[in-house]
Structure 1
Amino acid sequence: MPWKRAQNGTTPLTKEAALLLKGLEIGESEPSRFVFTTCQGHQLSRDAIADRLSKHLIMATTSCPSLGAKNVKPHVLRRTAAMRLLEAGIDVAMVAIWMGHSDIGSTQLYLHVNMKMKEDALSRTTPVNDSGGRYHATDERTTFLNGL
């Protein structure tokens, strides 16, 4: 993905991703610095990447129709990657660096949208004799509150 405001950076890859990308090299004497390139080997623009993604999404929707109702855009994929890192327990400062955020506050916004992470954190503070989980009011309490 192009970095914001023309920032330069590199992104570490899993071994599996590196092997897949290595398989894409087509006899170039020197591998490209970019994963997604034009015919001339230049970096694709954000619009060009979004266009390619939407074309592949249309093709993928034929075998997985539920994709048609989803908002699949490059930025959504980027945010999903960040959320998966956070869910895996990676420190928010490291995720900020990975994402190229100059301010950790940008990355912390991701934390506010994930209810599962909030529930997991809360479950670690639950007293031992309590079952934890979401609160469900009894009929008695609901009747009392409705009567206020």
Structure 2
Amino acid sequence: MNPTCFARYMSKYLTEYLPGIQGVSYNTIASKRDAYILLLKYLDDTQNIKAEDVDIPLLSRETIIKYLEWLEKSRGSSVSTRNIRLAAIKSLFSYIQTQTPDYIYQCQQILSIPRKKEPGHTLEYLTVEGIKSVLNAVETSSRTGLRDLTLLSLMYDSAARVQEIADLSVNDFRAEKPSTLRLTGKGSKTRIVPLMSTTSDLVSKYISIYHPSYRGEYNVPLFSNRKKEKLTRAGIAYILKKYVKIAREKQPDLIPEIVSPHGLRHSKSMHMLQAGVPLIYIRDFLGHSEISTTEIYARCDSEQKRKAIENTCPSITKSETPMWQKDTSLLGWLQSL
């Protein structure tokens, strides 16, 4: 069977162009690959077109739009996920139009598909007391409990992305004071973040129990499951969800409805901001490339806004109750209007 043009270009894009020319990370390639797998599944399920028969002429602008609608309606994907899948398709067709001029018009038609506007959402994060509640829910009398407490404490203290935690090796941790953690983020960029002494001591104890024979080898996963394989994103989310549920049962007022691994990153960022750490330092701590990305925390911190306004603006509102409020008949008349 001869490969179609689409199969050939997609293969070269994923295996040669992205890793070799653009130098993107494996996780970025995997995300794009998943979008293409879903597109092929959509064509098979809805139009009975097998993957080996899919070619560029079949992938019209209308087909891609229907695929995006299918993602939302049939798979229940969010608008954000829809836009991520669209971006992956656009990047592929942007590459295809540079490789063959035969389909340049069709490629430009697909590239003109607009992103769908995402609904606004509030930034979910835990208070300091909420973080303590989740950590206190971990029973540390077992090996697994020690691992989970170390994992959650490190996620919060380092404000790491969940994939950065999953990818940690034992040699990424430095126990010597001042203790640090090396994180590898988006685009394979690394950064060094400081750790609190209590977190550092906890990680050291964990390593002594889980990696007693470690002698400085590289690529030894810091956190692993029962099969000795490194924890996945889903595995980490499952661990957090378990203790969030326990904490919510004990102190429901402290735990928001939704708490995700990324929520611990948001929580640490907000707590740093509330403690007076400048945004530019928080940006570097989080590994953001632009300060505008970090500014979302300043916009969400209503308590800090209130304090800033109180410190800079004089209070001119009278605190005493106006005398006319004692006239119940007047109040009754006004309320009846």
TM over 0.5: same fold? yes
Out of 185, 209, 213, the position equivalent to 1:28 is 213
> CA-atom RMSD, angstroms?
3.3
Match of 1:103 among 284, 290, 296: 290
Q: How does 1:1-148 map to 2 (within 5 A)?
A: 1=160, 2=164, 3-25=185-207, 26=209, 27-30=212-215, 35-38=222-225, 40=228, 42=230, 44-62=231-249, 64=250, 66=252, 70-127=257-314, 130=315
| TM value normalised by structure 1 | 0.71
Q: 2:259 is paired with a residue of what secondary structure?
A: coil
Number of equivalenced pairs: 134
Whichever structure has more helix as a proportion of its residues is: 2
Q: Which runs of 5+ in 2 are unaligned?
A: 1-159, 165-184, 325-337
The percentage of counterpart residues that share the same residue type is 25
Q: Give distance in 2, aligned partners of 1:124 and 1:72.
A: 33
Partner of 1:9, secondary structure, is: strand
Query: What corresponds to 1:143 in structure 2?
Result: none
d(CA) in 2 for partners of 1:9 and 1:106?
A: 17
Q: Which runs of 5+ in 1 are unaligned?
A: 141-148
Distance in 2 (CA, whole Å) between partners of 1:102 and 1:45 is 25
Partner of 1:145: none
* 1:59-114: CA deviation from partner (whole Å, max 9, x where unpaired): 4445x151676322111111010000011100101001101111111110111111
